[in-house]
Every structure is written in structure tokens, then in C-alpha cells.
């Protein structure tokens, strides 16, 4: 078999020209004739037993050659890319130049390939790991958060003020019409937490149970829904209850209610450890991420396959669609609200998607150069851990595709090992 690689100028595509000799192609013609003889009736022969020439005479040479070609192309193409050590990233387009029963079989497959990469030396990446420590202010803020979580609500017969929870029925109107999502019943509103449009929570200050109040608000210029940006609106509210949050005092007794702590200092020490553990994990994630970026920035690449970039954009669009689904919205609704198009959205993602593709290719090359592998045992053990989250084996099989889970686990484990390797090399 002869193989000729022809890179296409200014492109990530390579044309792989393959010539299989008549002798190499002949077994595929024989196999094709045998397969077809199983599907047809040839007088005097059992299915699958008719001679090759009789099958050709019965169905025509074109049908036999077409079947042989369909089976031969994947076989010879796979051999070609393995022999030439190239990695294709999309489905190839095929052009057959010569095919016959007594001739060589020639075809050209054009596909985008992983570009040549000259990888930077991980030992020379200049990334500084920051020292992290929990501050007293962070510990105090966490204490206050815990106290607030354990606070109790008590109905009060007084005017609402900052910190109270006011339960109301409300309507928000613009030019006399209730806006989409601008109406709710028995809605608890914490005053002073900034969860609502500026002016909304403040407008309820001074109200009492069973009172009605109407007040104006203005939507911010950068509000999420473009149609409401900068608009003046009128809020009509009926107050059902005003509740005061009673926050427990931060003392030794409070510490004992949180867990098995001897006193407040013991609780503070544990909070400090937890804050530092979380901060160190975040810093490690940032550090590894910056290492990967530096590896990419200091490496050189051939032409990037556009299909990889488009695939990354597809992934991001799907992720965004899932996020919108949680808000009971669709991409189509989003583009209308924000006066944009899906094409424009994809265009804004292109630069960061290309960067992510470069990082991914850099890590892939690093893994290849250092022969990073994941064993079947590791994959099985991690997959079993994932399945433990399901109540029963039947439930797991209903929710999870075993092959997809295996591929996901294998990819995740290899990525983790590669990042660990990068970390180790950079700190030698």
C-alpha cells in the first residue's frame, strides 16, 4: 500500500492519498461478492456459496465494487493514519480515483488533523503560587453567616425595617401593564439583601402587616432583560406579615449548638481551618490553570482545525442552554430578549474557545510525550464510585449509559493525571 500526505496550504486539512494494489484489494471484492450472494438467489447454489463471477454476472460489477469499496476505505484509511502517525479530528471527505476488479484501488481522504505542536518546556514556565491564609475578618463573617442560618423568625407588630422579612403580594407594572414575571403571591422579601431591583426592598421599609403600598422603581441600565433596561415601573404591594430575624449571640453556648465544639474559640479554629482548606484548593486550581495557559502561550502550533473550535463553541452553547433551562427559558427566547442572534453569540465565544482548544491540544501533546495512560482498573474503580450515588443498580442503569460513563471517567482521569504531571514538571 502506498501513502502520500499532502498538506493543504493555509489550512489544517491534509489529503491522504492511498493506493492499494490489486492483490491487496482483491480480498474485499471476494468478501463483497460473498456477502451479496447471501442476499440474493443464484440458481443451483445455496445462499453465500455462489462463485464470485456468477454473483458479478447476476447483480453487476458496480454493485460488488461499491460494496468492496465501502469496506476497504475504512480499513486502508485506518492503516494509513496509523502508519503516518496523524490524528484526524473530523469525518474525512472521500474521493475515489481508481477502482476495478483487475486494477489497484486508489482514493484520497481529506480531513482536518491535529496540528504540529512544539511544546514549551514545563520547567521554564514562570507561574507563582500564592500563599493563602484565613483572616480574622473571614472567620467573623463565617460566624455571622452560621448565626444567621440558625436565626429564628418572629412576627412583629411594627413597621418593617432593614433586616426584616416582609411577606407580600405584589405586581410590577410599566405603563399600566404587568411585566413578565412581575407578579407574585405570599412572596418573602428580605429587606436589605439586594436580591431585588434597586428600590424594591427599600420601598417596603415602614410598611406594616395588612397594609398596601404603591411606590416607583427604576430598572438598571444593565438589567438582564434588555426590554426593561432603564425603564420606570410602579410596584403595588400588599403586606401580609413583617417578621424579625432573631440572631443568636455568638458565645460558647452557640458554638455547642453548631457541632461538637467545646467553646467559641474551638469553633473559630475549625472555621479557620475550613476556610484555609477551601482557599488552598482554589489557589491550587488557579495555579494549575495558569500553568496550562502558560504552557499553551509558550508553545507553537500549526493551523488549528476549525472543527475543534466549532465543537468547543457547540459545547458552550449547550451549557448555556442548560443554564437557561433552569430559568425556564430557551436560547430562542434569550436572543429575542437581548436583541441578538445565535450567530452573534457564537462569534463572541470564538476567541475564548480557540484559546481553550490550544490549551487542550497542549495538554494532549504533553500526555503523549510522557505516555500518560489510564488503566482499566482505574477506570472501573472510578466508574463504580460514580455509580454509588444512585440508590439501586437498576436506577443507575436507567440513568447512565455504561459506555458514555466509561469514556467520561477515562477522559477525566487522564486529564487529572496530565495536570498533575504538568505541576510536577513545573516544580522540579
Q: What pLDDT does 10 receive?
A: 79
d(CA 165, CA 151): 12
Query: Own/partner pairs for 91-96, CB < 8 Å, 24+ apart?
Result: 92/16, 96/69
pLDDT: is 392 or 84 the higher one?
A: 84
Q: Is 215 helix (H, G, I), strand (E, B) or coil?
A: strand
Instruction: Answer whether 104's CB lies under 8 Å from 98's CB.
Output: yes
Q: How many residues are recorded in the chain?
A: 428
The tens digit of pLDDT for each residue in 308-333 reads 999 999 999 999 999 999 888 899 98
Q: How confident is the model at residue 395 (pLDDT cuts 50, 70, 90)?
A: low
Q: How confident is the model at residue 410 (pLDDT cuts 50, 70, 90)?
A: very high
Q: Does 391 score more than 70 pLDDT?
A: no
Q: How confident is the model at residue 390 (pLDDT cuts 50, 70, 90)?
A: confident
Q: How confident is the model at residue 394 (pLDDT cuts 50, 70, 90)?
A: low
Cell numbers at 294, concatenated = 502558560
Q: What are phi and psi of 183, to 5 degrees?
A: -145, 140
Q: pTM for this structure?
A: 0.77
Q: What is the mean pLDDT of the chain?
A: 92
Q: Is 166 helix (H, G, I), strand (E, B) or coil?
A: strand
Q: Does 15 score more than 70 pLDDT?
A: yes
Q: How confident is the model at residue 269 (pLDDT cuts 50, 70, 90)?
A: very high
The tens digit of pLDDT for each residue in 323-365 reads 999 888 899 988 988 889 999 999 999 999 999 999 999 999 9
Q: What pLDDT does 29 receive?
A: 94
Q: What pLDDT does 385 receive?
A: 86
Which residues make beta-bridge pairs with 20? 105
Q: What pLDDT does 386 receive?
A: 81
Give the per-residue SS3 of 18-87.
Answer: EEECHHHHHHHHHHHHHHHHCCCCCCCCCCCCCCHHHHHHHHCHHHHHHHHHHHHHHHHHHHHHHHCCCC
Mean pLDDT of 171-178: 94
The tens digit of pLDDT for each residue in 84-121 reads 989 999 899 999 999 999 999 999 999 999 999 999 99
Mean pLDDT of 389-402: 70
Non-local CB neighbours of 200 within 8 Å, separated by 6+ positions? 189, 217, 235
Mean pLDDT of 113-135: 92
Q: What pLDDT does 392 receive?
A: 67
Which residues make beta-bridge pairs with 178? 173
The residue behind cell 442572534 is 341
Instruction: Answer whether 146's CB lies under 8 Å from 258's CB.
Output: yes
Burial code (b: 16+ CB inside 10 Å, e: under 16) for 191-217 equals beeeebbeebbebbeebebebebeeeb
Q: CA neighbours within 13 Å on the CB side: how many for 401?
A: 4
Query: Poorest-confidence range of 229-233, 290-294, 351-355, 391-395?
Result: 391-395
Q: What is the DSSP letter of 185?
A: E
The tens digit of pLDDT for each residue in 177-232 reads 999 889 999 999 999 999 999 999 999 999 999 999 999 999 999 887 888 889 99
Amino acid at each position: 500500500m502506498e501513502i502520500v500526505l499532502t498538506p493543504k496550504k493555509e489550512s489544517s486539512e491534509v489529503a491522504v492519498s492511498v493506493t492499494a494494489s490489486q492483490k491487496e484489494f482483491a480480498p474485499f471484492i471476494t468478501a463483497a461478492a460473498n456477502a451479496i450472494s447471501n442476499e440474493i438467489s443464484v440458481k443451483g447454489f445455496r445462499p453465500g456459496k455462489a462463485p464470485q463471477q456468477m454473483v458479478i454476472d447476476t447483480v453487476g460489477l458496480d454493485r460488488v465494487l461499491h460494496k468492496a469499496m465501502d469496506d476497504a476505505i475504512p480499513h486502508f484509511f485506518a492503516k494509513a493514519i496509523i502508519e503516518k502517525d496523524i490524528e484526524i479530528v473530523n469525518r474525512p471527505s472521500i474521493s475515489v480515483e481508481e477502482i476495478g476488479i483487475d486494477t489497484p484501488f486508489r482514493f484520497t481522504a481529506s480531513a482536518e488533523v491535529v496540528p504540529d505542536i512544539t511544546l514549551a518546556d514545563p520547567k521554564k514556565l514562570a507561574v507563582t503560587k500564592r500563599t493563602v491564609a484565613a483572616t480574622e475578618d473571614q472567620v467573623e463573617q463565617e460566624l455571622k453567616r452560621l448565626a444567621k442560618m440558625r436565626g429564628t423568625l418572629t412576627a412583629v407588630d411594627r413597621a418593617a425595617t432593614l433586616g426584616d422579612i416582609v411577606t407580600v403580594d405584589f405586581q410590577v407594572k410599566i405603563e399600566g401593564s404587568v411585566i413578565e414575571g412581575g407578579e407574585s403571591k405570599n412572596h418573602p422579601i428580605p429587606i436589605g439583601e439586594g436580591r431585588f431591583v434597586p428600590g424594591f426592598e427599600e420601598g417596603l421599609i415602614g410598611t406594616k402587616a395588612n397594609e398596601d403600598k404603591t411606590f416607583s422603581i427604576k430598572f438598571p441600565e444593565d438589567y438582564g432583560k434588555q426590554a426593561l433596561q432603564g425603564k420606570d415601573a410602579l410596584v403595588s404591594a400588599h403586606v401580609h406579615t413583617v417578621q424579625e430575624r432573631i440572631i443568636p449571640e455568638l458565645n460558647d453556648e452557640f458554638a455547642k449548638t453548631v457541632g461538637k465544639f467545646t467553646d467559641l474559640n474551638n469553633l473559630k479554629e475549625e472555621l479557620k481551618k475550613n476556610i484555609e482548606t477551601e482557599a488552598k484548593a482554589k489557589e491550587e486550581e488557579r495555579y494549575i490553570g495558569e500553568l496550562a495557559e502558560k504552557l499553551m502561550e509558550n508553545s507553537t502550533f500549526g493551523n488549528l482545525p476549525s472543527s475543534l473550535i466549532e465543537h468547543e463553541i457547540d459545547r458552550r452553547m449547550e451549557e448555556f442552554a442548560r443554564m437557561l433551562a433552569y430559568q425556564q427559558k430557551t436560547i430562542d427566547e434569550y436572543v429575542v430578549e437581548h436583541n441578538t442572534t445565535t450567530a452573534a453569540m457564537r462569534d463572541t465565544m470564538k476567541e475564548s474557545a480557540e484559546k481553550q482548544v490550544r490549551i487542550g491540544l497542549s495538554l494532549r501533546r504533553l500526555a503523549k510525550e510522557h505516555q500518560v495512560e489510564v488503566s482499566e482498573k482505574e477506570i472501573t474503580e472510578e466508574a463504580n464510585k460514580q455509580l454509588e450515588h444512585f440508590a439501586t443498580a437498576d436506577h443507575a442503569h436507567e440513568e447512565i449509559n455504561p459506555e458514555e460513563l466509561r469514556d467520561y471517567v477515562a477522559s477525566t482521569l487522564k486529564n487529572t493525571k496530565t495536570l498533575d504531571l504538568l505541576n510536577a514538571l513545573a516544580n522540579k
